[in-house]
Structure 1
C-alpha cells in the first residue's frame, strides 16, 4: 500500500481525533474523552509540540503517535483511526513507526505501554519483536488498570 508519512499534528487534527474517534467494545477504553487529563494534554498545542504527530497516507490521517526520546531510549504511544483497527492494518502501521523512529532517533530501545486486556495489540507487538518486560498498574480513565511495558531492542551492536 501507499507509504505513510509522519507530520506535526495541527490543532484541528487534534480536536477531530479527540472528539470523533470512537472505538468499539472494550477498545472504547482508548477514546480520548475517557481521561480528562490525557485529553487536555492531547488538545494542548504546547504539550504536543515536537512530541505528537499524525500519521498520514495519501494526505489522509490514519493515526497518530507520540514520541519521547531520552538517553537513547524512545517511548512511543500511538493510535490508529477506529475504522482501520482489527482489519490487519496494525503490522504495517506499527512497523512503519518503528522504522521511522529507528532512522530518526537511533535509539538503543523503543518502549511502549499497553493495557493488559489488549491481547490483540500485545500479540501484534510481539510479532514485530517487542518483548514484555514489566507489569504495572496505571491510573487512567478514573481507575487503576494493569498495563504491560514492552521493549524492542535495537538490532545494531
Structure 2
C-alpha cells in the first residue's frame, strides 16, 4: 500500500469527526467521544501545521499529528479509517507515518500514548520499534482511563 501525506483540510477533519465510527470498545477512539478532543480536532488554528491526512490512491485512510516536544522527541497521534483497522495494515501505516516524520522533523525519538485495552495497537507499535515506558491515568472521554506511554529511539 502506498501512502501520501498532506496538510489536513477542514473538510477532511469534519469527515473524520462526523463519519469515522469504530465498533465495540474501539468506539473509545471516535473523535466525537470527547468534547475537548473534538473541538481541538475541528479547530483549524489548533491543528495548525502539525496534523496530516494520509491518502491511499487519493482516498482518505488516516491521519497523523506530530507535536515537537523541543527535546528532539516528536509525540505522535494517529488514526486509521475504521474499515481498515484489524486487517493487518497497522504496521505499514505506522511505519509510513514514522518515515514521513523522520524526513520532515529529523527527530531523535518518537513517543506516543495508547489505551492499555488496545492490545492490537500495542502489538503494532512494538513491531514498529516502540518500547513500553509505563502506564498512567488520563481523564478523557468522560472518565479516567489507563494509557501506556511508548517511545522509539532513532
The residue number in structure 1 matching 2:46 is 47
The residue number in structure 2 matching 1:142 is 142
The residue number in structure 2 matching 1:77 is 77
Q: TM-score, normalised to structure 1's length? A: 0.95
Runs of 4+ that moved beyond 2 A: none
RMSD (Å) for aligned C-alpha atoms: 0.8
The residue number in structure 1 matching 2:97 is 97
Give 1:33 deviation, angstroms.
1.2
CA distance in 2, matches of 1:17, 1:75: 21
Q: Which blocks of at least 5 consecutive residues in structure 2 are unaligned?
A: none
Q: CA-to-partner distance for each residue in 1:113-148, whole Å, 9 max, x for gaps?
A: 000100000011011110000210011001000000
Give 1:89 deviation, angstroms.
0.8
Q: CA-to-partner distance for each residue in 1:13-54, whole Å, 9 max, x for gaps?
A: 111100000001110000111100000000000001111110
Deviates more, 1:139-148 or 1:64-73: 64-73
Give 1:71 deviation, angstroms.
2.2
Matches within 5 A, 1:94-133: 94-133=94-133
Give 1:99 deviation, angstroms.
1.1
Give 1:66 deviation, angstroms.
0.6
The residue number in structure 2 matching 1:17 is 16
Give 1:58 deviation, angstroms.
1.5
Deviates more, 1:145-154 or 1:49-58: 49-58
CA distance in 2, matches of 1:150, 1:90: 16
The residue number in structure 2 matching 1:28 is 27
Q: TM-score, normalised to structure 2's length? A: 0.97
User: 1:68 aligns to what SS in structure 2?
Assistant: strand
Q: CA-to-partner distance for each residue in 1:93-120, whole Å, 9 max, x for gaps?
A: 0010111111221111100000010000
The residue number in structure 1 matching 2:55 is 56
CA distance in 2, matches of 1:136, 1:99: 27
